[in-house]
Structure 1
Amino acid sequence: MKMTLSELSSELGAQFYGDGNVGINDTAGLNNAKSGFLSFISHKKHYHYLSNTEASAVLLRPDDLSYCNTNAIVVPNPYHSLRF
């Protein structure tokens, strides 16, 4: 099911940063994600993937936002939120 970043953030009750109209239609790990994919980061040891991901958006904690170079949804627990 395709959703926009704005719709997904609303479903999660979270704030998005970036283009709210970007389409999300699948999920993948940071290092495998492509355009249209949502990914997540739950540990700082993966920051090197975050800076190079091709994901259209990433679920992340507030402290991780400054490391993100793409659209983001800020949530308290990215892994838990991915299971929406």
Structure 2
Amino acid sequence: FFVVQSTSECHFSNGTQRLRYLQRYFYGREEYVRFDSDLGQFIALTELGRPDAEYYNKDEDTLEQKRAQVDTVCRHNYGVLDRFLVHRQ
């Protein structure tokens, strides 16, 4: 059987001046669809991901929530971890 997994990633550049949020979805070991905050939408990476990307890109509530996660997840977590990260550089 295959496992469906999801990961969320925050990419920081120059503190929080440049943020990128990715939510990646895998079936087995293959990434098939992702949300990319730089593009503001879901991107199909395989044919398996095409229906999901089309479905979620039509759902404005889902897109709004994912776009907001740059601030609610990435920027927030950077603020929480900033002191710890600076001391470890």
Same fold (TM over 0.5): no
Higher Cα Rg, which structure? 2
Asked which structure has the greater RCO (Cα within 8 Å, sep 6+), the reply is 1
- Larger fraction in helix: 2
Structure with more strand by fraction: 2
Normalised to the residue count of structure 2, the TM-score between the two structures is 0.23
Q: TM-score, normalised by structure 1?
A: 0.24
